[in-house]
Amino acid sequence: MSRRCPNGYHRLLRTYVKRRGSGEPLQYILGSEYFGDLEIKCRPGVLIPRFVGISVLSFCHFLILWTNRQETATAVSCFVHRMTANPICAGSSALRVLDLCTGTGCIPLLFHHQFYTKFPAADVRLQLVGVDISRTALAVAQENLGIQIKAQRGEYGSGSLRQIALEGVRLVEGNVLDHHNDSPTKTTDSLLATLKECSEDQTPPRYDILISNPPYISSKAFRTTTSRSVRNFEPTLALVPPTHLSKDPTTDGDVFYPSLQKLAKRVEAKALLFEVSDMQQAMRVALMCIHEDCWDGIEIWCDDPSDCTSTTPQVTLRDKLVKVRGAGNGRSVFAYRKSHASWSSD
């Protein structure tokens, strides 16, 4: 046995090196990636969860973000951090969160983890729903959910509010763009019907928070700037919106955002958080939020939006001031209604 093990290790290592040499992402080879404190399972055919766009960061900057990632280097972590003074944590028995294009399920799982870590005594039950069009992604998301349920059951107990909320996470199949098959002004009725099945006697279904990391890479950027590893191995479905829905190959990465805005209005979301690729796209999405005329505050979050207490620069879009938080490139657009203005507290 002792003679065979080294050879077995060598063969395994050669296989890994060969796969990596072909450009296959390391996360697929190893089978997982960390997202905050959570180890998230990864499989071919499902987008790999990432904290930042490594291709546009210097290596030293990436190391800084990697070191601090558990605290504040992600938009989800910053979002939960900003909820410290929000009355919803004390004045409501439930907080409903909808994640569209959920992929591996990493966002709802991290939101759950961060929320109950931040508010361990909160008498608030999270109701989390993740939606994806890919059954492959949903299978991986369900696997990740099962792993977290098992891991946290031993730590927090099966009867804890934290565990009850985790076991209540719903992962369902749905198409955010289904209305494009008919009329661009029609709401996503089939998706709303799916969400209604996940709600607790709510007609129409309502969610306090809508989060989405949708396919946002333009077809031109996908061809010219995306790394070979991503282009050849990760699912195009999760990276690039359907190209036939836009005539401009430089901005067709924006296709999902109007639909997400319509859904945010239909579910009466009090806040939204959309991931974007860069500052140019962030400003376009922020403009969409302005045009909806239902958001009292709109912000652009950069690579590291963690310093939410400092004086931040602003950009003016259609005579409306939009705060820009953090350093680096634009990575998220955050919008909220006046009723939850405490999320904007400096």
Rounded CA gap, 236 and 242, in Å? 10
322's tokens: 């939009």
122's tokens: 């909160």
User: Which of 146, 155, 127, 116 lies closest to 40 in space, CA to CA?
Assistant: 146
Interaxial angle between packed helices 256-266 and 189-198, expressed in degrees from 0 to 180 and rounded to the nearest 10: 50
Residues in the chain predicted with pLDDT less than 50, given as ranges, are 1-2, 52-73, 87, 181-187, 346
Tell me, rounded to whole angstroms, the distance of Cα 40 from its chain centroid.
13
**AA letter at 266:** R
**What would the 3-class secondary structure string for the chain be?**
CCCHHHHHHHHHHHHHHHHHHCCCCHHHHHCEEEECCEEEECCCCCCCCCCCCHHHCCHHHHHHHHHHCCCCCCHHHHHHHHHHHCCHHHHCCEEEEEEECCCCCHHHHHHHHHHHHHCCCCCCEEEEEEEECCHHHHHHHHHHHHHHHHHHHHHHCCCCHHHHHHHCCEEEECCCCHHHHCCCCCCCHHHHHHHHHHCCCCCCCCCCEEEECCCCCCHHHHHHCCCHHHHHHCCHHHCCCCHHHCCCCCCHHHCHHHHHHHHHHHCCCCEEEEECCCHHHHHHHHHHHHHHCCCCEEEEEEEECCCCCCCCCEEEECCEEEEEECEEEEEEEEEECHHHHHHHCC
Please state, in angstroms and as integers, the Cα–Cα distance from residue 59 to each residue in 62, 299, 327, following that order. Answer: 5, 27, 15
* Residues 6+ positions from 51 with CB-CB distance below 8 Å: 35, 65, 66, 69, 73, 74
User: Which value, in Å, is the radius of gyration of the alpha carbons in the chain?
Assistant: 20
* Residues 6+ positions from 70 with CB-CB distance below 8 Å: 36, 37, 77
* Residues 6+ positions from 220 with CB-CB distance below 8 Å: 249, 250
**AA letter at 178:** D
| Phi (first) and psi of residue 9, to 5 degrees | -65, -40
Rounded CA gap, 160 and 10, in Å? 46
174's tokens: 């749905």
pLDDT for position 188 = 58
pLDDT for position 307 = 61
Rounded CA gap, 275 and 76, in Å? 10
Rounded CA gap, 50 and 153, in Å? 26
**AA letter at 71:** E
Residues, the chain, total? Answer: 346
Rounded CA gap, 284 and 62, in Å? 26
